[in-house]
Structure 1
Amino acid sequence: MTDLDVTPARRGAREVLSWSRRGVDPALRAAVDRLPAAMRDVAGYHFGWWDENGRVVGADAGKAIRPALVLLSARAVGGSAEEAMPAAVAVELVHNFSLLHDDVMDGDRTRRHRPTAWTVFGVNTAILAGDALLTLALDVLAASGHPCAQRAIRVLSAAVQSLLGGQSSDLAFEERRSVAVAECVRMAELKTGALLGASCELGALYGEGAPERVAHLRAFGDRLGLAFQFVDDLLGIWGDPGVTGKPVHSDLANRKKSLPVVAALASDTPAGRSLDALYHAAEPLSADDLARAATLIEAAGARAWSRERADTLLAQARAHLDAAGPERDPAEELTALARLVADRDH
């Protein structure tokens, strides 16, 4: 048993994330070191390891939620977190592939309190670096030597296809005047839920869990992922820039059809109708317009609706976790992590 598989008593969610980041980082760096030099430079900058000139800076590398889900799911079925490390690295690579591309598509200039990679290295180079991380993720699984490696590649590939489908819908929604709430929820299931679900499934597979336990852990991750997106969309409107690393009202400035926005637009309330007129005006939205849009979304009941949906999804996730019959310590840590994910807007 390695240090990664030793659980101190009463470890909280933030301690779990620190444990995950410490465990994954050496293997993640070793994988990124295999990239061509130009791609390695961009990836290392994006991960916060160095600046645009290659000087070590140790900036924020993200929370490592998805790797933590992999490692804890492996332990939840009685397996080893150490054995599941290739899967943890792979999902972190895929997640960051998607972030590099999202920043380009959304025109976001800031991530984790730093300029986004495309603003530093250029759009084309950032896209290529994202592609490099995606192919590297599959190579990490293929090279793991684990009996489930082939199945794991298919699970991760399917999650990427879902993610791409969700992102495609997200972009298409920006060009449409009307989007149904059910369409938006489905987009979020694909764009976010699929990768968190795959993270739990991969961990359970590398932990050699029985099929029923794997399925319940997959469902736990799916529900948690959708809750994560509901909360993320709330943060995209009302989040503290000091915490999110993005400007206030950033999603509104981009006129994104996020879950609370779509719910407000579909509410058939005076606030929803006013939001529709404001959101689809031809001229750019001023700071006052953005603040008014946020007020209208809340007045339409969409902020409370999003919060309630996140809470319901969290309860569903926890029911699936219980049904998986997990080992006690990792179950408690998965529960703590789920609460942290769903309570980020409080």
Structure 2
Amino acid sequence: MAEFMTETAERSAVVPRPGTSGERAGRSGDGAAGPLDGQEAAALLERTRALVDPELRAAFASLPGSMRRVALYHFGWQHADGTPAAGNAGKAIRPALVLAAATALGGPAARAAAVRAAAAVELVHNFTLLHDDVMDRDTARRHRPTAWTVFGDPDAILAGDALQALALRMLAEDPHPAAVPAASRLAACVVELCAGQHTDTDLESRAPDDVTLDEVLVMAEAKTGALIGCACAVGALYAGAGDEEVAALDGFGRQAGLAFQLIDDVIGIWGDPRNTGKPAGADLAARKKSLPVVAALTSGTPAATELADLYAKPHHGQDAEAAAEIARTAQAVERAGGRDWAQAEAADRMARAVQELARAVPDPEAAGGLLALAEFVTRRSS
């Protein structure tokens, strides 16, 4: 285990800023992720889409037409008019983690058995995206208009509900002995996700100086870490793992998921819209109390006071003056230390994730797929 900790800590120590060369740096022993890591993760994600997409398409075929068209549009497989599209269905990170965890603990046979469960996890993830877009009034996802902007709120919400139901039905009809505990874990995860989303929306209505960093970290673990941890745990269940291994993989996923959310929040402020598919500064315009923002607000610096004043005023408009105001807000977050804190905290959470993973999978080679995926999501720019 000591060898595992040394090797993986070196690989996970640095989380570069989006847009820097660190995203594609070599695996050279300097702590940067390497092309082998990126290539390994890309291959895992591509293989996951090839395995999971047929399961998803078959599940969509059972939906009523009104909900099916929204689901197919959301996944990028149809245009709004119902004609076929070859769009972006997402990176498939969560189903890839299911399959990687099953492989790490049970080999190829466990991976093959877990494909339906991986599809179920992807359905739950997309159920949350459909609902989040409605609640957050986000107008773009995956480089195209969000479902609610095309079909309206009711259709988008109902399609999300249908995806959640499909996920649980897929597990209910799976004869594998792990299907029942996996369904139970996934259902509990959905409750946690809803609680996290409720906290998130509640925080948005509170004054900038009335939100603590601990609150936002707990909320982020519930909203993001819970499903990533659940994905890893479901994979472990399908490999026949014991309770301690399942718990350790859940812990790995939760910590890696929190690192993911930290980087996602950084990208939400400083990411390039050409990569993210979302308008520049959308989170700041919505006055979201993301992790870098709250870290900045609670820093006690002059920039924190400036940021609180900016956040106390609603953002309006799409003109040059509005864009300049967003730029000033982003600069205030950075000067107050929010960006640096988020980068450092993401690296720390990845180190904790490595510790959890070592408990369940002591062999670094067997854990390679899980590590490659975790490194991929914390070193991305979109």
Query: C-alpha separation between the residues in 2 aligned to 1:106 and 1:344?
Result: 23
Match of 1:264 in 2: 296
Change (3 A) 1:158 1:268: same
1:134 paired residue among 151, 164, 168:
164
Matched residue type, 2:303: A
Match of 1:313 among 340, 349, 357: 349
Q: 3-state DSSP class of the match of 1:49?
A: coil
Aligned to 1:34: 62
* Deviations 1:173-209, CA, capped at 9 Å, x for gaps: 1100021000000000100000000000001001111
Q: Against the structure 1 CA distance between its residues 290 and 283, is the aligned structure 2 distance closer, same or farther, given a 3 Å change threshold?
A: closer
1:309, distance to aligned residue in structure 2 (A)? 0.5
- Tell me what 2:148 maps to: 118
Could you tell me how far apart the structure 1 residues matched to 2:183 and 2:92 are? 20
Percent sequence identity over aligned pairs: 52
Aligned counterparts of 1:283 and 1:317: Cα–Cα separation in 2: 37
**SS in structure 2 opposite 1:169?**
helix
Superposition CA RMSD, Å: 1.5
- Give the corresponding residue for 2:29: none
Of the structure 1 ranges 216-225 and 73-82, higher mean CA displacement relative to structure 2 is found in: 73-82
Instruction: Establish whether residue 158 from structure 1 lines up as the match of residue 188 from structure 2.
Output: yes
From 358, 367, 372, the equivalent of 1:322 is: 358
Q: TM-score, normalised by structure 2?
A: 0.86
Would you say 1:293 and 2:325 are equivalent positions? Answer: no
| C-alpha distance in structure 2 between counterparts of 1:31 and 1:236, whole Å | 32
Residues 1-346 of structure 1: pairs in structure 2 closer than 5 A:
12-79=40-107, 80-177=110-207, 178-282=210-314, 284=316, 286-325=322-361, 329-345=365-381
Stretches (4+) displaced over 4 A: 326-330
Task: Point out the more displaced range, 186-195 or 150-159.
Answer: 150-159
Q: Whole-Å Cα distance in 1 between the matches of residues 189 and 72 of structure 2?
A: 24
Counterpart code for 1:167: Q
- Residues 236, 249 of structure 1: 8 Å contact kept: yes
Q: Equivalents in 1 of 2:111, 2:59: separation in Å?
A: 18
The one-letter code sitting in structure 2 at the alignment partner of 1:321 is L
Q: Are the counterparts in 2 of residues 76 and 327 from structure 1 also a CA contact under 8 Å?
A: no
2:301 and 2:40 map into 1 onto residues whose CA distance is 42
**Unaligned 5+ runs, structure 1:** 1-8
How has the CA–CA distance of structure 1 residues 54 and 326 changed in structure 2, closer, same or farther, with 3 Å as cutoff? Answer: farther
SS in structure 1 at match of 2:296: helix
Q: Which fold has the larger relative contact order, with Cα–Cα distance below 8 Å and residues 6 or more apart in sequence?
A: 2
Matched residues in 2 for 1:302 and 1:162: separation? Answer: 27
Structure 1 counterpart of 2:92, which letter? A
Taking structure 1 as the reference length, the TM-score comes to: 0.95
Judge conservation of contact 2:105–2:241 (CA < 8 Å) in 1: yes
